[in-house]
């Protein structure tokens, strides 16, 4: 599904990613662990196509198509969805209006009343207020917890093929995290869907059980592995980053 070969990238003049190699196959869950500033968000949004991150080397391909030069909206339409660690406020645009606009734009279909019901169901499942759909997107009064849940709702309704969750666990309490994990498990059970979870801590791993783990430090992948690395990380906690 996603192949990243020898990719390096800059933000302004700083090299934030160095010679990254990754391959994510359909129905795989990958976890990328690393300390703050290790390049996790840069990698997530390089894959999404943020024009503020310059890819200087290598190739990113998605479903066998080179997407190096594709802008973010085209990558989104191909099925890539990166969540935001700090989702931005859009004044005057309600959460429901945003999901309607993005859904209709991405799929070309109508955001039907059935979809709106699904949307409201997700709002309830995640424990958000009934009037949340009418709140402005990530407005200044929203808690970080609400903004993160909003990202998950967008993901669940837009049904991308590849989801990249950037620090989705931060600012969430245990109950909220459990609700999100339920939605993620439902998502990954669909055929052909893949998930990359970027995180700093190991609590989430226990619940989503990734197939592969990558340790990112200073923009480089230091270590990669499967179950054995997962077990070691669970035992060692954050020591592997030091």
Which spans of this chain sit near other proteins (rule: CB under 8 A)? 45, 48-52, 71-73, 76-77, 81-82, 84, 87-93, 97-98, 101-102, 105-106, 154, 158
Length of the chain: 242
3-state secondary structure of 58: strand
3-state secondary structure of 132: helix
| Identity of the residue, 90 or 170, whose beta carbon is nearer to other proteins in the bound complex | 90
Q: How far apart are CB 153 and other proteins at their closest, in Å?
A: 12
Q: How far apart are CB 215 and other proteins at their closest, in Å?
A: 26
User: Could you give the CA distance from residue 208 to residue 15 in angstroms, rounded to a whole number?
Assistant: 31
Residue 3 near residue 56, CB atoms below 8 Å: no
Residue written as tokens 């801590």? Answer: 201
| Identity of the residue, 115 or 158, whose beta carbon is nearer to other proteins in the bound complex | 158
Q: How far apart are CB 164 and other proteins at their closest, in Å?
A: 10
Q: How many CB atoms lie within 10 A of CB 117?
A: 10
User: Could you give the CA distance from residue 28 to residue 34 in angstroms, rounded to a whole number?
Assistant: 20
Task: Write out the two tokens for 49.
Answer: 């196509």
| Identity of the residue, 94 or 224, whose beta carbon is nearer to other proteins in the bound complex | 94
| Identity of the residue, 141 or 173, whose beta carbon is nearer to other proteins in the bound complex | 141
Q: How far apart are CB 166 and other proteins at their closest, in Å?
A: 11
Q: How far apart are CB 102 and other proteins at their closest, in Å?
A: 4
| Identity of the residue, 35 or 87, whose beta carbon is nearer to other proteins in the bound complex | 87
Q: How many CB atoms lie within 10 A of CB 149?
A: 25
């Amino acid at each position: 599904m996603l192949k990243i070969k020898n990719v390096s990238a800059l933000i302004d003049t700083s090299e934030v990613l160095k010679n990254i190699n990754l391959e994510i196959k359909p129905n795989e869950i990958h976890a990328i662990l690393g300390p703050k500033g290790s390049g996790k968000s840069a990698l997530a949004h390089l894959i999404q196509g943020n024009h503020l991150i310059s890819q200087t080397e290598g190739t990113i391909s998605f479903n066998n198509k080179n997407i190096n030069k594709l802008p973010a909206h085209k990558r989104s339409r191909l099925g890539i969805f990166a969540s935001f660690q700090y989702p931005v406020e859009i004044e005057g645009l309600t959460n429901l209006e945003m999901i309607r606009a993005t859904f209709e734009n991405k799929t070309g279909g109508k955001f039907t009343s059935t979809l709106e019901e699904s949307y409201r169901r997700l709002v309830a499942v995640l424990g958000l207020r009934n009037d949340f759909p009418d709140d402005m997107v990530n407005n200044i009064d929203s808690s970080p917890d609400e903004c993160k849940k909003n990202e998950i709702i967008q993901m669940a309704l837009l049904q991308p093929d590849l989801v990249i969750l950037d620090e989705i666990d931060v600012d969430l309490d245990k109950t909220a995290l459990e609700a999100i994990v339920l939605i993620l498990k439902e998502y990954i059970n669909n055929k052909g869907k893949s998930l990359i979870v970027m995180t700093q801590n190991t609590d989430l791993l226990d619940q989503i059980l990734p197939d592969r783990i990558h340790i990112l430090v200073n923009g480089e992948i230091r270590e990669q592995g499967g179950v054995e690395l997962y077990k070691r990380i669970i035992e060692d906690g954050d020591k592997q980053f030091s």
